Amino acid sequence: MDGLFLVKLFLSFVIGSIWVTSATIIAEKMGTKLGGVIAGIPSTMVIALFFIGWTQSPVVASESTTLMPIILGINAICIMTYVLVTETNFYLSILISLALWFILSLGLVSLNPNNFIYSLVGCILLSIPSYYILEIKSDISSQGKRDANFSFPQLLFRGILSGTIITFAVIISKITNNPLIGGIFASFPAVILSTIIITHFAHGRSFSCAVIKALMISATTVSYTHLRAHETSLHLVCRL
């Protein structure tokens, strides 16, 4: 691995660790709505797209955004699946959700789509039913703040867990050498997965599901504007 890529991995780990750990603490101190909104800001995309543009080119980074909206829709489907299946078994819900993500995401690569508008429409078609099921048909309601004291080992565990998952996504997006695949793995639900695990074991299913529901809404509403703005900013930042 070259030195620049190691810098990328280090920054991915540090920023991801701080972001997810902070979001889970905010959720516990302020409630699930605010914590989910903060965790839903697409920080993994920011990290991955910036370094794709820096190490390769802004054009490659821009091409990587093509499938990101529909991948966010797939993320919404996986969140819905987790919430529904975790009523039966937590570990099974994680396994099924991740397997579903890989099957649907990599299935897009075989279709080789290259149209941002189609991808955006796909995001809408997948996200709206997922939100409807979670908001209307499920029993998931927002949770208030929790009284919690955090020890250093607990914070260290949260940071290592979230940083490792996000770093894995960045590694995969690097080694594929394909803009579409890079875009898919830049949208890997690393923050979602680490947030689920942390909040579930800290406060149980209801709290975890409430945070994830708010995260899904935040991620899908923020990301379109973010992606379009990021394409423009890459051409400026990557010249530095």
* 112: region left, alpha or beta (phi > 0 left; psi from -120 to 50 alpha): left
Residue of 192, 214, 224, 179 whose CA lies nearest to 48:
179
Measured CA to CA, the distance from residue 40 to residue 34 in angstroms comes to 10
Q: What is residue 117's predicted lDDT score, i.e. its pLDDT?
A: 80
Measured CA to CA, the distance from residue 179 to residue 185 in angstroms comes to 10
Q: What is residue 237's predicted lDDT score, i.e. its pLDDT?
A: 44
Q: What is residue 96's predicted lDDT score, i.e. its pLDDT?
A: 94
DSSP code for 133 = I
Q: What is residue 234's predicted lDDT score, i.e. its pLDDT?
A: 46
Q: What is residue 179's predicted lDDT score, i.e. its pLDDT?
A: 63
pLDDT digits (tens, 9 = 90+) for 33-42: 666 666 666 5
Q: Tell me the whole-structure pTM to 2 decimals.
A: 0.74
